[in-house]
Structure 1
Amino acid sequence: MSEPFRTALTDLTGVRYPVVQTGMGWVAGPRLVSASANAGALGILASATMSVERLRAAVREVRSRTDAPFGVNLRADAEDAGERVRIVVEEGVRVASFALAPSRDLIARLKDAGVVVIPSVGARRHAEKVAAWGADAVMVQGGEGGGHTGNVATTVLLPQVVDAVDIPVIAAGGFHDGRGLAAALAYGAAGIGMGTRFLLTSDSTVPEAVKAKYLAATVKDVTVTTQVDGLPHRMLRTPMVDALERSGRLSSLWRALRHASAFRKETGAGWPQLMRDGLALKHGKDLTWSQVLLAANTPMLLKASMVEGRTDIGVMASGQVAGLIGDLPSCSELVERIMDEARTALRSLPDAG
């Protein structure tokens, strides 16, 4: 293992290297998170697809596999967010990350318990808001990133946020190697976050046949669609995505109801909670009722591919970097490679003096 690489992110979280494995639903489970943490990165456990009871068990499983710091990703708008925060605090988790901005009160509650709070944002104003509320750092995802995404490239968004806040900024969206880490550091970031690159490791539990589809994808095979849940969603183009984009309103509603029923059984959520979670995502957006349902239970479309290997009926969230990735290293091999590449890239820069 190479020497530690110190930045504001490593100082804040206690990890060895300024690399974050992001919290991907159905992908970032105990095995991947502990492997990432043992490799020196900050592994983030995805909790939105877990029941409350499973979350506690998953945190303890990660703890049994590693002594390194790790985090848990939470949905700030979920009805049971407070209960999940309690588990994070009680179990001594080092970092809480959020896909949506947490409230001022939620941030204060975590910080009072000594938990590092790192929300993800897609706009400068959101970074400024959570920084003012006390967030310890912020992850900025540009439009190249997988899953729900925006339309501003990382190279445009990142310097905006770095200039706007005085807390550590983690760059996400479009990163997969050490050259990207060196570039992010040059922009003023304290580290990088990667999802697709960690999904495509030997430590990932995603079925091998699904990984093979990612590896075979070109940059042009990664698309953005709003037909899954009404929100811009970056994923691999598959027959399922094509079918969703051709679907009429009635068939979309029927599909949404079927997936909502499955998600209820998976998480123990009731119909009222599903609708409230869906409406939270609908806020300020022009979504149909079928899209509201899909917004609340899109995880089942992801589970079909990421867990069951059914790419014919599921979706495959993906960053554009899938088109650049051609191997499945272990997390340890990946992180060591990234750090070696970053050091080489930084040493090769011309002397500006």
Structure 2
Amino acid sequence: MKSITELLGIQYPILQGAMTHIARYPLVSAVSEAGGLGIIAASGLTGEELREQIRETNKRTDKPFAVNLMLQMDNISEQIDVLVTEGVKIVTTGAGTPKAYMDRLKKTDIKVFPVVPSVKIAQKMEHLGVDGVIAEGMEAGGHIGTTTTMALIPQVAQAVNIPVIAAGGIGDGRGMAAAFALGARGVQLGTAFLTAAECPIHENYQQAILQADDTATVVLHKAHGGAVRGLKNTLTNEESSDAFSLEALKRAADEGFVDQGFVISGQIAGLFTHLRPAKALIEAMYAEAEAISQSIKID
């Protein structure tokens, strides 16, 4: 089995999570240029807006990057047209099955990595012929499943014969080394990259992440199923359905209203104390993971 770095053509087995309305070209290009895999979040974008994001990323890096498709969007076919014509070669997917689009994606040699919350769904994705899965534990920010990363990763790794990338609650080299010990071949980070200097969010949002502790997040459950995780604030305390809207995210990410907006964050937020460039974050994380993996001793 190829390593994740060989498979994706990247230097470090570190992916940047596709955070809706946040994972745009400033962050994506910085992560890819630093040797990780930047991922554009296509959710909420028209075809032409996605094209612009891809082209702006290409202006800033000649290294691989991906596009994440939120499969509940009604313009997925248009978005696929765009990423095919623009030459994107890696896709991650969420919020549904890519079954209807697999033939076209594979015919154009696009590698497909769905985000999965369970063993059963991981096995279904393997059956579809995907190139790997991103198994995400409930510690993650944004949309989450019900199983923790610690429990999910070894079970998925045992159940499938394709590469598994671990996500949820991973923020430094310790978490990365642990993920590899559990059977993962790469990691995906979301909350950590909110503290990257290149992340295009309001400074109030970044400060809210830096000031968070291990109990700062809350899970909100949707009326018709599903759940999302973000920082506790007035909006989440009111349990308003508005918390699930793109407008609530924009209030926090664009305007800095972190008390009345939805601040997507994972439980690992309390680990971060300062901002730093994506390159510094990635290199420090990888170096720490390598050192830990070489020094662990089981007594």
Q: Is the 8 A contact 1:101 1:130 kept in 2?
A: no
What is the Cα deviation at residue 227 of structure 1? 5.6
Query: What is the match of residue 107 of structure 2?
Result: 112
Asked whether 1:330 is paired with 2:268, we answer no
Query: What is the match of residue 286 of structure 1?
Result: none
Distance 1:220 1:308 in 2: 25
Q: Is the 8 A contact 1:101 1:121 kept in 2?
A: no
Q: Is the 8 A contact 1:104 1:134 kept in 2?
A: no
The residue type paired with residue 98 of structure 2 is S
Query: What is the match of residue 272 of structure 1?
Result: none
User: Which one has a bigger Cα radius of gyration?
Assistant: 1
Q: Deviations over 1:213-238 (max 9, x none)?
A: 11111111111112698531111001
Q: Is the 8 A contact 1:101 1:120 kept in 2?
A: no
Name whichever structure is richer in helix by fraction: 1
SS at match of 2:15: strand
Distance 2:98 2:69 in 1: 12
Q: TM-score, normalised by structure 2?
A: 0.95
Asked whether 1:348 is paired with 2:285, we answer no
Q: Is the 8 A contact 2:208 2:258 kept in 1?
A: no
Q: 1:301 aligns with which of 237, 248, 256?
A: 248
Count of matched residue positions in the alignment of Structure 1 and Structure 2: 299
Task: Trace 1:139-154 onto structure 2 (pairs within 5 A).
Answer: 139-154=134-149
Query: What is the match of residue 275 of structure 1?
Result: none
What is the Cα deviation at residue 78 of structure 1? 1.9
What is the Cα deviation at residue 146 of structure 1? 0.6
Unaligned runs of 5+ in 1: 1-5, 257-293
What is the Cα deviation at residue 49 of structure 1? 2.4
Asked whether 1:138 is paired with 2:139, we answer no
List 4+ stretches of structure 1 deviating above 6 A. none
Distance 2:214 2:174 in 1: 18
Q: 1:128 aligns with which of 112, 123, 131?
A: 123
SS at match of 2:63: coil
Q: 1:55 aligns with which of 50, 57, 70?
A: 50
**How many percent of aligned residue pairs carry the same amino acid?**
37
Task: Trace 1:197-208 onto structure 2 (pairs within 5 A).
Answer: 197-208=192-203
SS at match of 2:147: coil
Q: TM-score, normalised by structure 1?
A: 0.81
Query: What is the match of residue 178 of structure 1?
Result: 173
Q: Is the 8 A contact 1:7 1:191 kept in 2?
A: no
Structure 1 residues 54 and 229 mapped into 2: Cα distance closer, same or farther (>3 Å)?
farther
Query: What is the match of residue 215 of structure 1?
Result: 210
Distance 2:254 2:129 in 1: 36
What is the Cα deviation at residue 94 of structure 1? 2.0
Query: What is the match of residue 339 of structure 1?
Result: 286
CA RMSD of aligned residues (A): 1.9
Structure 1 residues 306 and 7 mapped into 2: Cα distance closer, same or farther (>3 Å)?
farther
Distance 1:224 1:64 in 2: 38
What is the Cα deviation at residue 36 of structure 1? 0.2
Task: Trace 1:202-351 onto structure 2 (pairs within 5 A).
Answer: 202-226=197-221, 231-243=226-238, 245=239, 298-350=245-297
Distance 2:161 2:53 in 1: 33
Q: Is the 8 A contact 2:46 2:75 kept in 1?
A: no
Q: Deviations over 1:266-324 (max 9, x none)?
A: xxxxxxxxxxxxxxxxxxxxxxxxxxxx86xx222111111121223310111000011
Q: Is the 8 A contact 1:100 1:119 kept in 2?
A: no
Asked whether 1:163 is paired with 2:110, we answer no
Asked whether 1:18 is paired with 2:13, we answer yes
Query: What is the match of residue 46 of structure 1?
Result: 41
